[in-house]
Structure 1
Amino acid sequence: MELSITLTLNGAMRTVGIDDPRITLLDLLRERLDLTGTKKGCDRGQCGACTVLVNGRRVNSCLTLALSCDGAEILSIEGLAHGDHLHPVQAAFIEHDGLQCGFCTPGQIMSAVGLIAEGHAGTDAERIREGMSGNLCRCGSYAGITDAVLDAQARMAPQDRGEAA
């Protein structure tokens, strides 16, 4: 029995057949839709490498059933930039060396975009570290990540923050 869901993925309406109701959003993105920017780290919701935005909220896609996203708006790392124009968070990560190996970077960036859009980033580094605590970096790029989030938030106009997600 095949089910289908309709969702808006990176701005485009998609209808996707689901042959197994247990498939996660992460596996749907990576294996069925070939959007491999979202990473499978722990596959248990502990590392944040799979973070995407669902209806503007940060979620661990490895813990989210794809069927639960029927009708939802999904934003993955592939939908963040506009052509060659990087999102302010992406640009800030590059400028502040908020990455080393890069494996966690898509999840870190999506979490930062969500944190800013939710209005929870503030201007305090400790608040940002707390807000990003669900995203782990094995290389230890936390200082650059925090600086990138601070910089991106300062660059983004208040109306852009809500539109970031």
Structure 2
Amino acid sequence: MSIMLHLNGTPTPVNAEPDTPLLWVLRGELHLNGTKFGCGMALCGACTVHLNGEPIRACITPLSAVGDGKVTTIEGVAGPEAVALREAWTTLDVAQCGYCQSGQLMSACALLRKTPRPTDADINAAMSGNACRCGTYPRIRAAIHQAAAKRRD
């Protein structure tokens, strides 16, 4: 079945059933491999993408739930928050193995768009659904704070 997906600012036709998880379409059909498969149960956050600017878990989101919504993946995320976060991630060497980092960045970007000056509690709440097996949480928090400060400059 052909479905039109509004992906990273571009109408993109996909050939999939409405109950197909968005993650399988992104990775399998469209070859956008930045969005990772982690747990398949929306527990780890590796598959985080934005739907209309809100972070969602692509592993449990069927295409039918996307509808006419706008999907943004790590390949398409842009704007001053994304730029500041990428710079902070690099400066602070946040990534260790890197597997979870696209999901971490997507959640952090959504946070900074809503809360330009997040507290530690704001960061904890926004990032609580993103697991990092390497334990880089202190660097992730520091990078979010650094990116927020850079945005204020």
TM-score, scaled to structure 2: 0.90
SS of residue in 1 equivalent to 2:113 = helix
Given that 1:97 and 1:145 are in contact with CA atoms closer than 8 Å, whether structure 2 keeps it comes out as no
Aligned-pair CA distance for 1:111? 0.5
* Matches of 2:48 and 2:8, distance apart in 1: 14
Aligned to 1:14: 12
Are the counterparts in 2 of residues 5 and 71 from structure 1 also a CA contact under 8 Å?
A: no
Distance in 2 between the 1:155 and 1:8 partners?
31
Contact (CA 8 Å) 2:42, 2:60: kept in 1 or not?
Answer: yes
Which structure 2 residues correspond to residues 1-165 of structure 1 after superposition, within 5 A? 2=1, 4-18=2-16, 20-80=17-77, 87-119=83-115, 122-156=117-151
Is residue 97–residue 141 contact of structure 1 (8 Å, CA) maintained in 2?
A: no
Query: How many residue pairs are counted as aligned between the two chains?
Result: 151
Distance 2:25 2:42 in 1: 16
Gaps of 5+ in 2: none
- For the residues of structure 2 that align with 1:157 and 1:27, how far apart are their CA atoms? 38
Give, in angstroms, the shift of residue 15 of structure 1: 2.0
Aligned to 1:162: none
- The worse-fitting range, judged by mean Cα deviation, of 53-62 and 8-17 is 8-17
Q: Percent identity?
A: 39
CA displacement 1:8-53 (0-9 Å, x = unmatched)? 21111112222x3321011110001000000000010000000000
The amino acid across from 2:130 in the alignment is N
TM-score, normalised to structure 1, is: 0.84
Hey, what's the Cα distance between the residues in 1 that align with 2:90 and 2:29?
Answer: 30
RMSD in angstroms over aligned alpha carbons?
Answer: 1.9
Alpha-carbon contact 1:48-1:136 (below 8 Å) kept: yes
Unpaired runs of at least 5, structure 1: 159-165
Take 1:53 and 1:87, find their aligned partners in 2: how far apart are those partners?
16
